[in-house]
Amino acid sequence: MSIGLDTLRIIHYPDPRLRDKCAPVTMFDDDLAALTQRMLELMRDGNGVGLAAPQVGLLQRLFVMNHSGEPSDDRIFVNPRITDQHGSVEGEEGCLSLPGVHVAVRRAKQCVVTAQDLDGREFVVQTEDLIARICQHETDHLNGVLILDRMGPSDRIATKQTLRALEDNYKSNES
C-alpha cells in the first residue's frame, strides 16, 4: 500500500491538515480495510471513542468509532453525511488531536447518518446521545472543523494555555 500503515500516527493541533476539507473515498479495496483497522488500533491506544482520517494526516472522508470499548462495537463510516438531526444538548468533548482539551459543545441530540461500508454499500443509521455526538464530532473533522470552533467563551479562556503549549510543541517539532 502506498502509505506505510505502521508509520501512521495521530497528528495534533495546530497541524494544518486538521483544517482541510477531505475528499470523498472512491476506492473500496483491501487498502481501505487495512487503513480502518489501523485507525481503530490508534483510536484504542489513545483511549478515544472516534478517529477521523485527517487526524492521521489522510484527507479522506472516513472515520471509525467505538463508543463502548467492546470490539463488537467497532464502527466504520465511509463518506458519511448527517442527513437529519433533532434536538440540542450540551456535553463535554475531548479530541485525540487536542490532548488536554475538554470543552462543552452543543450538538443535535439525535442524528441520522448516511454512509458507506468498506464494500461501498450505503447504509443509514439513527443515532442519539453519545453515538450521535461522536458522529457529529467526526463528521466535523472531515470538513476541517474542530471542537475549538464550537466552544463557548469561558472554555476559550480556560483552554488558552493548553492550546499555546500545543502550538509551541508543533513549532519545535517542525524546526
Would you name the residues annotated as active-site residues? 138
Largest CA distance in the chain: 46
CA-angle at 138, arms to 132 and 140, nearest 5°: 100
Among 95, 103, 113, 151, binds Zn ion (CB under 5 A): 95
Q: How far is the CB of 172 from Zn ion (least distance, A)?
A: 23
> How far is 76 from 123, CA to CA, in rounded Å?
11
The answer to the question of residue 40 lying near Zn ion (CB under 5 A) is no
Choices 62-70, 73-81, 90-98, 156-164; region in contact with Zn ion by CB under 5 A: 90-98
**In terms of Cα–Cα distance, which of 104, 109, 97, 87 is closest to 42?**
97
Judged by beta carbon, residue 2 or residue 82, the one nearer Zn ion is 82
> How far is 131 from 163, CA to CA, in rounded Å?
27
Q: How far is the CB of 140 from Zn ion (least distance, A)?
A: 8
Judged by beta carbon, residue 11 or residue 115, the one nearer Zn ion is 11
| C-alpha cell belonging to residue 5 | 500503515
Judged by beta carbon, residue 122 or residue 167, the one nearer Zn ion is 167
What residue ranges bind Zn ion (CB under 5 A)? 95
